[in-house]
Amino acid sequence: MKFEETEVWGFEHALRGMRNPLESWNKSDSHYRDIDEPEDEEKIIINGDYYAIGKNDLELAQRLIKAGDPHRKFLRQIFVSVDITAPIYWWKEFDTYKVGTVANSTSTMHKLASTPITKGCFEMDDYSDVRFEEDDDAYGILNEQWDRTIYNCELLRQKYNETKDKCYWKELIRLLPESWLQTRTVTMNYENILNMITYRQNHKLIEWSESFINWTKSLPYAEELLFIK
């Protein structure tokens, strides 16, 4: 599972709007800083400049987050775009959070038959961590099943390319395991991500509890806004 091409934007207007209800803009202390100044604060790069959230703004933001969904609307105006490569079984759970998100995916409809099908096409990150006793028949069955599945998928792909008969392509779609890796360019916001962290950080799938959570921790001000106690 991979997270690539991450972009984050919207802090400036989100924090400005955060103060609209009480018209407390004069208390805002977030600011641009010269790129050569000492890095004693966490900063976000906006159009080549550093943007740092001030103490006053951060305190207000954290109070609103702790107050609950109706009060932390500013998080919905901090946007994230990222290319995620994940298995189908992960994407099915991600779609639970698709309110306010947009995703463009690579297409099994158009491109499934264009390249050879190998183990690298499937989610195998923790495959070597599967634990069996050395004499456990399940270990041999697991390896044999993977080899057979990949062989059959590749055979159907080749037959479709040779004949252009859609029956081979249809059977390939049916047989394709849910561990098939698909890349989507996703746009979402900090509110979406906060909800995912809340409900998925202890998930039994390491794609959630490790891969996704580790990526979210790399986002600007993640500790202060997304992992706030």
Q: Give the pLDDT score at 100.
A: 72
- Dist. CA 62–CA 18, nearest whole Å: 11
Give CATH for domain 2-104+182-225.
3.30.1360.170
Q: What is the mean pLDDT of residues 167-196?
A: 93
Span 164-178, mean pLDDT?
92
Q: What is the pLDDT of residues 36-69, one digit of tens each?
A: 655 555 556 555 567 889 999 999 999 999 999 8
Its pTM surpasses 0.95: no
The mean pLDDT of 201-226, rounded to a whole number, is: 94
- Cβ-contact 48, 57 below 8 angstroms: no
**pLDDT recorded at residue 141:** 79
> How confident is the model over 101-112, as a mean pLDDT?
69
Strand partners, 180: 122
123: left (phi over 0), alpha (psi -120 to 50) or beta: beta
State percent of the chain over pLDDT 90. Answer: 63
pLDDT digits (tens, 9 = 90+) for 133-150: 666 677 777 888 889 999
| pLDDT given at position 140 | 74
Domain positions in the chain: 2-104+182-225, 113-175
* Confidence at residue 28, expressed as pLDDT on a 0 to 100 scale: 95
In this prediction, residue 129 carries a pLDDT of 60
Which residues share a beta bridge with 105?
184
